[in-house]
Amino acid sequence: MKYVDFVEQSYKPKTTDLVCDFYVEPLGISLKEAAGGVAAESSVGTWTELTTIKPYVEKLAARVFSIEGNNIRIAYPIELFEQGNMPNILSSVAGNVFGLRALKNLKLTDIQLPKKLVHSFKGPKYGITGIRKLLNAHYRPLVGTIIKPKLGLKTVDHAKVAYDAWVGGCDVVKDDENLSSQSFNPFEARVVATLEKRDRAEEETGEKKVYMVNITSETEEMLKRAQFVVDHGGRYLMIDILTCGFSALQTLREHDFGLVIHAHRAGHAAFTKNPLHGISMKVIAKIARIIGVDQLHVGTVVGKMSETREEVNENCDALKTGLYDVKEVLPVASGGLYPTLVPALMDFFGKDFVIQAGGGIHGHTDGTVAGAKAMRQAVDASLQEVSLEEYAKSHKELQVALNLWK
């Protein structure tokens, strides 16, 4: 079979097929041959004709069934994949094809797994509905913060910053992506001290509070850390899903510690940022949802991250829509956020998301408590459809924030 033999535009995908969308730019060959090359190299073919191909093997060939401009769609027979094995699936459709010399650029822009493959994974334990029930916060965005500075604080100071954020009005406090168990803030001591502050904040505010401790590490160590969180009354954990890998994420989910899984996407831009080459964030979001995260960073539209409005919207759709009976995942907006941006955020995301601000809370000139109050006040004003400027007249923390961050 030659590359062009993998192009069959009259083919109608079966409900059992896995379907991938790619953007393709060929280098020295025709678009049709390039499209066939992607299908061949990610299924049963290679660069030359083979004497080892049998008739039954040909039935497993991926098929390019659509070519529109540089956008192609490929259907893969489900038999090509092992159920419950995401590394196998991605090594096939998003593996060696990216290194083909005959391709100038290749981007995996979407993926659709058939029902049987989707159901071979656990999916989210909580999702949006479960998280809202856990926090008893049903009708508003959740307000969260990241401890800043992200590295360097000793355990006692880390816990104090968390406490200040909670009593100021944050629902969520989380570690940043590169805090693990450094000597100045070891994991076990941090969990104990911070959860003690959480309990105190709950008593004082009458609200449920959660701490997302970063358990990112070698897989066996992550499992030990997750159990430590359970043993000390934690409700959440956080994992850097791309640097740990989808296999580690799946192992964590399969153990089912009963904790909400917050997924940080550290490193995603290495795959997603180039619009012509790599893997889209939408694909990463779908895969993470299928494996079983409960919430995931998706970009902000506003703030310091580079994704466009369309891209963030696609990321949110990947977490919330059309995946059989898999629970919806809670989107997290994070990156350069502060109270002034809340109306725009809520206009875009609605109410089902987490507003997660680091510097936009801890950078408040009156401190973390005031910064958290200002963010919560911005949410309250937007829910009441009152302008921030008007609401700030009777809420001094918000007024300071508006003066600080225009």
Query: Which residues participate in catalysis according to the annotation?
Result: 148, 264
User: Residue 161: which of 369, 2, 335 has the closest Cα?
Assistant: 369
DSSP 167: H
**If you search the block for the tokens 């049998």, which residue do you land on?**
54
- What single letter denotes the amino acid at residue 128? I
- What single letter denotes the amino acid at residue 86? M
| Number of H-type helices and E-type strands within the chain | 18, 13
What is the full DSSP assignment across 239-299?
EEHHHH-HHHHHHHHHH--S-EEEEE-TTTHHHHSSSSSEE-HHHHHHHHHHHT-SEEE--
DSSP 211: E
Distance CA(78)–CA(283), nearest Å, equals 18
**Alpha-carbon distances of 166 from 22, 142, 210, 214, rounded to whole Å:** 44, 12, 9, 18
Instruction: Using alpha carbons only, give the angle 144, 399, 307 rounded to the nearest 5 degrees.
Output: 45
Is the link from the previous residue into 26 a cis peptide, with omega within 30 of 0? no
Which residues, including other chains, have CB under 8 Å from residue 209's CB and lie 6 or more apart? 166, 170, 171, 172, 173, 198, 201, 202
User: Residue 11: which of 54, 59, 45, 51 has the closest Cα?
Assistant: 59
Around Cβ 255, how many Cβ atoms within 10 Å? 13
